[in-house]
């Protein structure tokens, strides 16, 4: 049966939706476009276009402190993403599979880092590392990458757990039972049946955890010391004195890196969907 052409009334109903969609895209992405464009501006002023130049990229990559801060952020985000992915996945599977006393309280506890204000999390982490969790020698934790990673894992892995649990809602338990009937042990069935089903959620959770850790400022500000500076903290300190296109340049590099990682994750997810 041939598809009929949309009536005039249908078009009149569609154009407000299209206008709203385009307005949303402009609202979300116009600031990013401005950021990228003015990273090539041949002027220290970021509000007036003078000409095209790549000098700000040279100055950004020549700034050792800025590159070190970016390296710290990438290292913290990478390590915290791995731990968040493992803990979030195991927590989601445990809450999905088992029924135990206090399960509702545990479930609500996982949601607490998601809804709690970041300023409260930052102060709590500062007190925790400075007073409650000393080194064996009795001295407080040194403020370095370790506490920052622990703090980032604490607020990132509940996001992974939420995404994985949503994916588990569509899992057919009979597939795992069939694997167990064929001789697979609990861990083998988990690795060969459950984990492949969770692969899209794992990719999404890893991207979210990485982005949250890379972008975090408040909690990092409370748990980082003077010898450990991350990229958001460094950019904040630079903007307190003067805003130059050098900040735009290094932010553009970070934006491109995030887009590339997202593209790779989407390609892997699409390949998995075709194979399935």
Per-residue pLDDT of the chain (276 residues; tens, 9 = 90+): 455 555 555 555 677 778 888 889 889 888 888 888 888 888 777 677 788 888 888 888 888 888 888 888 888 999 999 999 999 999 888 888 877 787 778 777 878 888 888 888 888 888 888 776 655 555 555 556 778 888 899 889 999 998 898 888 888 777 777 877 777 777 777 777 888 888 888 888 898 899 889 888 888 888 876 677 888 888 888 777 766 788 888 888 888 888 887 787 777 767 766 655
Please, where are the H alpha helices in 216-244?
A: 218-223, 231-241
Cβ atoms within 10 Å, residue 112:
11
The C-alpha atoms of residue 154 and residue 134 are separated, in whole angstroms, by: 18
- The distance between the two most distant Cα atoms of the chain, rounded to a whole number of Å, is 80
Please give the model's pTM, rounded to 2 decimal places. Answer: 0.78
Domain range 55-275, CATH architecture: Orthogonal Bundle (1.10)
Phi/psi of residue 8, each to 5°?
A: -60, -35
The domain locations on the chain are 55-275
The C-alpha atoms of residue 220 and residue 151 are separated, in whole angstroms, by: 8
**3-state SS class at 41:** strand
* Residue with the two structure tokens 């464009």: 37
**3-state SS class at 52:** strand
């Amino acid at each position: 049966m041939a598809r009929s052409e949309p009536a005039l009334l249908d078009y009149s109903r569609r154009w407000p939706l299209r206008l709203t969609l385009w307005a949303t895209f402009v609202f979300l992405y116009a600031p990013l476009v401005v950021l990228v464009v003015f990273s090539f501006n041949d002027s220290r002023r970021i509000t007036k276009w003078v000409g095209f130049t790549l000098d700000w990229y040279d100055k950004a990559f020549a700034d050792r402190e800025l590159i070190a801060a970016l390296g710290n952020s990438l290292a913290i985000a990478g390590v915290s993403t791995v731990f968040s992915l493992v803990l979030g996945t195991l927590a989601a599977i445990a809450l999905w599979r088992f029924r135990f006393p206090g399960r509702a309280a545990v479930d609500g506890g996982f949601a607490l880092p998601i809804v709690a204000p970041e300023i409260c999390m930052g102060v709590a982490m500062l007190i925790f590392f400075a007073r409650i969790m000393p080194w064996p020698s009795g001295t407080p934790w040194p403020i370095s990458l370790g506490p920052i990673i622990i703090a980032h894992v604490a607020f990132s892995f509940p996001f992974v757990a939420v995404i994985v649990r949503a994916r588990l809602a569509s899992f057919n338990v009979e597939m795992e039972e069939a694997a167990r009937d064929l001789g697979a042990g609990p861990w083998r069935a988990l690795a060969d049946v459950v984990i492949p089903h969770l692969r899209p959620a794992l990719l999404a959770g890893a991207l979210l955890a990485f982005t949250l850790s890379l972008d975090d400022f408040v909690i990092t500000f409370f748990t980082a010391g003077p010898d450990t500076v991350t990229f958001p903290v460094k950019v904040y300190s630079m903007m307190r004195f003067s805003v130059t296109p050098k900040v735009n340049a290094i932010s553009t590099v970070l934006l491109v890196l995030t887009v590339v990682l997202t593209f790779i994750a989407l390609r892997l997810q699409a390949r998995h969907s075709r194979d399935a």
